Amino acid sequence: MALASAAAAGPKSCENRSNNNIAKLTECVTLEGVRAHQSALQEIANDSFPNNRASGFEGYDRSVDYVVEQLTAAGYSPVIQPFDFVIFNENSDAMLEQTAPVATTYEYLVDFFTMSYSGSGTASGPVEPVDLDLGRGNASSSGCEIADFAGFTAGSIALIQRGACSFEQKANNAEASGAIGVIIFNQGNADDGSRDVLFGGTLSDSYVGDLPVVSATYDRGVEWAGTAGLEMTLTTDTTREPFTTVNVLAETNTGDPENIVMVGAHLDSVNPGPGINDNGSGSAAILETAIQMSKVNLVNKVRFAWWGAEESGLIGSTFYVNDLIDKFFAGDDQIFDIALYLNFDMVGSPNYVFKIYDGDDSDEVGAGPGPDGSAQIEAFFEGFYESRGEPYKGTDFSGRSDYGPFIDLVGIPAGGLFTGAEEIKSDEEAAIWGGTAGEQLDPCYHLVCDTFDNNSDKALDINSDAIAASTLYYGMNTSEINGVEGKGNFTNGAALRQVGFMTGMEMLGKRFQK
């Protein structure tokens, strides 16, 4: 694969120097270097069947090989961590037809979409709504409790609304109540329309039900809920089988092994396409950061992670955290060596908004704050964006990416960046960040068109610098997170002031003064 070396994309001095301050490192972590890695991932998808990089397929294995080769050439000793999961494949497009009261055929990938890990088969019968809560501002928990199915007629297709619990839980409750198929439509609760659109959900690789399960748009769900005598035929054609895939882990050669900064991004794509924004963007950015940091003499060890099977339900990162928990109960307490976790998933969306995970829950209502220390991480990124004159906003720790198990299972401080997926850009956001109001932040989210061209150079360039800056800073100093002091120019945030932005503690102080 003929590609320019990552080092060659930056100044000539990047090939040999130690990028031991933020100004040097961000000079060497270039857009060209990150895009070169994305180009390689695109080539891998093009040359692999079926043109994706999903875990369990050859495109993912080749992506792993590429990351390992790049890391090894930069002087790392990458570790492959295997784990088992269930591979899911859709053999042919699902079909959904209304047979009564009026014959209607619905369009796949427009009106509805097969949920990952759906069962396979055909369900024909009446459609029954399950405990719906329609309208803006709703708090749907449709299908989350068996009691929601009181009076449900066995042999019917369950029409369920998104919200409050996992899709798997909704599908399991439906099957236990005698449903022969499940349609889960979007929640429709948000004023900006972000919960109206078609979404690609997963039932997780632990789902073993036999029901065909599809997602649908909010508008279709409302329409179907109001159609008297509605009958449908739903067909899915899927396979599920056990498989082994891997995470890739690589540690810096320097730094305190008892005070580890973890930096992660999922490497896999969804089945429909190559996943060059989701998540070739985060994977490429942390890879280029690792390469350009390889000669730095760090205070704290940095551990980079490229997760497998994220799109199957955070399987790789969850396995990693559970493995550390198992080791703890066996007498190995290395889990306490992790000071914080930084997550970078979709950082170059073409219709982007600069979003920071909301560590203190000051911006969003919903998931709540992250573990102690997460607010300081959020404030670090706020300071970075302010130094670049870029507006930003908070986004919830919704549990949809690999920070989830670090927060939920072991309470490790976390943070990171996100430029948006299926959310609809509002008029206000378009006025702030440009782009197109009324369209998804990533119009190719989970689709075949998530290719090398599905990208904002500006968002990816700025976020690559933010990723590099945060990785190096915490590699030198985690005192704001856990009280472990750094040294040299990084102590007390001096390194940040040298490049014009505030420390996390200073940003928090500024916020409280407002």
pLDDT single digits (tens) 428-443? 999 999 999 999 999 9
> What pLDDT shows up at residue 163?
92
- Tally of domains in the chain: 2
Q: Report the pLDDT averaged over residues 135-153.
A: 96
Q: Which residue has the tokens 């979003």?
A: 355
Q: Report the pLDDT averaged over residues 491-501.
A: 52
3-class DSSP assignment, residue 468? helix
Q: What is the CATH number of the domain that holds 274?
A: 3.40.630.10
Residue 257 and residue 395 share a domain: yes
Residue 335 and residue 449 share a domain: yes
> What pLDDT shows up at residue 29?
98
Residue 265 and residue 306 share a domain: yes
Q: How far apart are the first and last CA of the chain?
A: 53
Q: Rounded distance, CA 408 to CA 217, Å?
A: 29
Q: Report the pLDDT averaged over residues 16-42.
A: 96
Q: Binning pLDDT at 50, 70 and 90, where does residue 512 land? A: very low
Q: Report the pLDDT averaged over residues 372-382.
A: 95
Q: Which residue has the tokens 């706020």?
A: 382
Is 310 catalytic? The answer is: yes
Residue 302 β-bridge partners: 261
* Tens-digit pLDDT profile for residues 118-134: 999 999 999 999 999 99
Q: Binning pLDDT at 50, 70 and 90, where does residue 367 land? A: confident
User: Is 3 domain-assigned?
Assistant: no
Average the pLDDT over each of 56-70, 299-313, 483-497 and give the range with the smallest value: 483-497
Q: Binning pLDDT at 50, 70 and 90, where does residue 362 land? A: confident
Residue 393 and residue 269 share a domain: yes
Domain boundary among 205, 238, 271: 238
Q: Binning pLDDT at 50, 70 and 90, where does residue 1 land? A: very low
| Beta-carbon count within 10 A of 314 CB | 23
Q: Which two tokens stand for residue 275?
A: 């996943």
User: Is 6 domain-assigned?
Assistant: no
| Beta-carbon count within 10 A of 494 CB | 14
Q: Where are the beta strands (DSSP E) in 30-154?
A: 79-100, 104-105, 112-114, 121-129
User: Is 345 domain-assigned?
Assistant: yes
Residue 70 and residue 126 share a domain: no
Q: Report the pLDDT averaged over residues 192-200.
A: 85
Examine the pLDDT at 467 and tell me if it is beyond 90.
yes
Q: What is the CATH number of the domain that holds 137?
A: 3.50.30.30
Examine the pLDDT at 464 and tell me if it is beyond 60.
yes
> What pLDDT shows up at residue 202?
86
Residue 434 and residue 285 share a domain: yes
Q: Report the pLDDT averaged over residues 140-165.
A: 96
Residue 102 dihedral angles phi and psi, to the nearest 5°: -130, 130
Pairing of strands 393-395, 300-307: unpaired
User: Is 171 domain-assigned?
Assistant: yes
Residue of 27, 168, 175, 310 with catalytic role = 310
Residue 493 and residue 359 share a domain: yes
User: Is 12 domain-assigned?
Assistant: no
Domain boundary among 206, 238, 270: 238
> What pLDDT shows up at residue 491?
52
Q: What is the full DSSP assignment across 485-504? A: ---GGGGGGHHHHHTT---H
Q: Which two tokens stand for residue 458?
A: 């500006």
User: Is 15 domain-assigned?
Assistant: no
Q: Rounded distance, CA 225 to CA 223, Å?
A: 6
Q: Report the pLDDT averaged over residues 381-407.
A: 95
b/e code 282-297 from CB counts within 10 Å (16+ = b): bbbbbbbbbbbbbbbe
What's the mean per-residue pLDDT of the chain?
92
Examine the pLDDT at 313 and tell me if it is beyond 90.
no
* Tens-digit pLDDT profile for residues 238-279: 999 999 999 999 999 999 999 999 999 999 999 889 999 999
Q: Rounded distance, CA 349 to CA 421, Å?
A: 7
Q: Rounded distance, CA 383 to CA 393, Å?
A: 12
Q: Rounded distance, CA 323 to CA 229, Å?
A: 51
Average the pLDDT over each of 8-12, 164-168, 191-195 and give the range with the smallest value: 8-12
Q: Which residue has the higher pLDDT, 417 or 4?
A: 417
Is the whole model's pTM more than 0.95, yes or no?
A: no
**CA–CA distance from 59 to each of 45, 50, 267 (Å)?**
5, 8, 11
Is the alpha carbon torsion for 427, 429, 432, 435 positive or negative? negative
* Tens-digit pLDDT profile for residues 68-81: 999 999 999 999 99
Residue 66 and residue 113 share a domain: no
Pairing of strands 300-307, 231-251: antiparallel
> What pLDDT shows up at residue 106?
98
Task: State which residues form the domain around 334.
Answer: 22-76+252-513
Q: Which element (helix H / strand E) includes 278?
A: none
Residue 130 and residue 71 share a domain: no
> What pLDDT shows up at residue 89?
86
Domain boundary among 209, 238, 267: 238
> What pLDDT shows up at residue 487?
60
Burial class from Cβ neighbours inside 10 Å (0-12, 13-18, 19+) for residue 2 reads exposed
Query: Helix/strand/coil (H, E, C) string of 386-429?
Result: HHCCCCCEEECCCCCCCHHHHHHHHCCCEEEEECCCCCECCHHH
> What pLDDT shows up at residue 425?
93
Residue 233 and residue 113 share a domain: yes
Q: Report the pLDDT averaged over residues 156-167.
A: 96
User: Is 2 domain-assigned?
Assistant: no
Residue 293 and residue 159 share a domain: no
Q: Which element (helix H / strand E) includes 173?
A: helix 167-176
Is the alpha carbon torsion for 216, 217, 222, 223 positive or negative? negative
Residue 303 and residue 208 share a domain: no
> What pLDDT shows up at residue 192?
80
Q: Binning pLDDT at 50, 70 and 90, where does residue 2 land? A: very low
Q: Which residue has the higher pLDDT, 186 or 505?
A: 186
| Beta-carbon count within 10 A of 141 CB | 15
User: Is 246 domain-assigned?
Assistant: no
> What pLDDT shows up at residue 457?
98
